[in-house]
Amino acid sequence: MEPETTVNRTDTVNDIHPCYELDNTTYLFTSNPSIICVLLHVFLSALSVVTICGNLLVIISVSYFKQLHTPTNYLILSLAVVDLLVGIIVFPFSMAYTVTSCLYHEDLFCKVRISFDVTLCTASILHLCCIAIDRYYAVCQPLAYKRKVNDRVIGIMILMSWALAALIGISIIIAGFNQGKCEESCLIDALISTTLACIFCFYIPVIIMLSIYLKIFLVARRQAISIQTTKSGATVSKMERKATKTLAIVLGVFLLCWTPYFLCIFIQPLTYDVTPIAVIETLNWLTLSNSMLNPFIYAFFYSWFRLAFRMIISGKLFWGDFTNSKLL
């Protein structure tokens, strides 16, 4: 099915999208794609494959090796599932039904695409909030950590994150979510729906996460200054600090990928100007690329993830039972 959109302008083809062409007052996905269009789709397809493979490695690693069955890693596992779905579902949808094709024409597939975008984005943010809470108890209240953050609590957190993300995704579609052009008649609706979406789906959770990590940083700094009484205690403290640092980097990369997009759609309804297509498309793919980056962060900072990745890629798991392998 080719996306078709009605426009009231006489822009050149290049002003719209390298993969679309004008036909009177409508633009269609071109039947004779240019080299730029082909290269763009090859690049985005490769991005999707890398995203899927990277997150599959994380999912298999945490699921297979018993030593990785920890509350923090369960959250990382669920976050990897979110990123995997982005690679499997959102990437293909976004290539077939781009922001360009959905700006002026909202058919079923465009609504499905936006719904998945919002749901998985919200799920990512909520998982990062849960990870921040996990790190807070691990670093700031280590004696109460195992009692307050157990498998049951983590399971509830994961379930609530998915349920709330799905609810918000459906609600945003019902209310109407404007990420492009808005005429005067829809200005109030766009302001309400888009502003609320940005505030509740992004800004409030981000402020909460940054506050938690600031508290963790201050506590960790005090712990580093104080004298460790035992070697084992120092080792555990060092491991927790490293895990917190790594997951804080995951949050930082997330913010770098997503903040420009949310700033754009937050400001858009306040103006009558149309955001350039190139800007919208670039910011949209920048957000999706975040799902590809997380596995590389884990592999770079965690030696045990690198070892697990090597065992999986080499096919070693097919030649015996390595579930109890020592990775840490």
pLDDT digits (tens, 9 = 90+) for 145-179: 888 899 999 999 999 999 999 988 787 677 655 44
What phi, psi does 118 have (nearest 5°)? Answer: -65, -45
Work out whether strand 4-6 and strand 26-29 pair parallel, antiparallel, or are unpaired. antiparallel
Question: 35-79 pLDDT, tens per residue?
Answer: 877 888 888 899 999 999 999 999 999 999 988 999 989 999 999
Work out whether strand 4-6 and strand 20-23 pair parallel, antiparallel, or are unpaired. unpaired
Q: Mean pLDDT lowest for which of 122-126, 177-181, 210-214, 263-267?
A: 177-181
Q: What 3-state class would DSSP assign to 108?
A: helix
Nearest to 113 by CA among 135, 90, 95: 90
Q: Which two tokens stand for residue 50?
A: 């890398």
Question: 291-319 pLDDT, tens per residue?
Answer: 999 888 887 788 888 888 888 988 888 88
* CA gap 76, 79 in Å, rounded: 5
Which CATH architecture group holds 4-319?
Answer: Up-down Bundle (1.20)
* CA gap 154, 160 in Å, rounded: 10
Determine contact, residues 29/102, Cβ cutoff 8 Å: no
* CA gap 95, 285 in Å, rounded: 10
Show the beta-strand stretches assigned E in the chain. Answer: 4-6, 20-23, 26-29
- Percentage of residues in the chain having pLDDT higher than 90: 19
* DSSP state, residue 200: I
Nearest to 247 by CA among 86, 154, 141, 131: 131
Q: Is the dihedral of CA 261, 265, 270, 276 positive or negative?
A: positive
Determine contact, residues 291/91, Cβ cutoff 8 Å: no
* CA gap 119, 294 in Å, rounded: 18
Selected residue with higher pLDDT from 115 and 187:
115
Angle at the Cα of 285 (from 262 to 126), degrees rounded to 5? 50
Banded model confidence at residue 232, pLDDT cuts 50, 70, 90? very low
